[in-house]
Amino acid sequence: MKTADSTARDAVCTALADLMEDYARAIDRDELERWPDFFEASCIYKVTSRENVAAGYPVGVIFADSRAMLQDRVKALRDANIYERQCYRHLIGRPWITHADGESVRAETSFVVVRTMRDGASSLFASGSYHDVLRVREDRLSFVERIVVCDSSRIDTLLALPL
C-alpha cells in the first residue's frame, strides 16, 4: 500500500502533527508569547462555530488578520492576568490533509480542549476542528490561515486563552 506519493504525504502529516502539538504546548504550558510565531506576518486567525460556517456568516467571535494582532492579544491577556486563572489541555486528532504541494498544505484536524480553573475544577471547554492553510518553507510550516471551527456556538472566548 506504500507508494512514493503516500510516503511524501506521510512526511507532511508527521510534520503537521508535530506542529499542532507544538502549537498546543505553547498554549497549554503558558508560553503564549510563542503563539504568534506559528503564523505568517500576514495571516488569518479566526474562531467561529460550525453553525456560523454552515450559515455562511463570515464573522467569528475572534478575528485577526496579522501576527501583530495576535501579539497584541497576548499582551492584553498578560495585562489582564487571565492566564493565571485557568489552563487548557489540547488533545489533537490526526491531521486530515486535503491538499499538499511543495508550497502549501491544507488540512483539517479535530481537537478537544479541557479547561482547568485555579480551584481545580476541570471541564470540557471546547471541541471542534482546525481548518488550516499552511505555507511550506524549507525548515518549517507556518499558518497562513487558521480557522477554529467550534462544534458549539456557545464559545466563551472573551479574554480567554487562544484555541
42 contributes a contact to a second copy by CB under 8 A: no
Q: Which residues are CB-contacts of 3 (< 8 A; sequence separation ≥ 6)?
A: none
CB of 90 to a second copy, least distance (A): 7
- Extract the C-alpha cell encoding 77: 491577556
| Cα within 13 Å of Cα(109), Cβ side | 28
Q: Looking at the chain, how many residues does it have?
A: 163
Which residue type, as a one-letter code, is found at position 8?
A
Contacting a second copy within 114-133 (CB under 8 A): 114, 116, 120-124, 126-129
Question: By rule CB under 8 A, what string of x and - marks binding of each residue 80-109 to a second copy?
Answer: -------x-xxxxxx-x-----------x-
How far is 92 from 46, CA to CA, in rounded Å? Answer: 18
Q: Which is nearer to a second copy, 152 or 157 (CB)?
A: 152
| Contact present, 67 and 40 (Cβ < 8 Å) | yes
* Candidate list 34, 40, 44, 50; residue touching a second copy; CB under 8 A: 50
Task: State the maximum Cα–Cα separation within the chain, in Å, rounded to a whole number.
Answer: 53
Contact footprint for a second copy (CB under 8 A): 1-2, 10-15, 17-18, 20-22, 24-25, 28, 50, 87, 89-94, 96, 108, 110, 112, 114, 116, 120-124, 126-129, 136, 138-139, 151-154
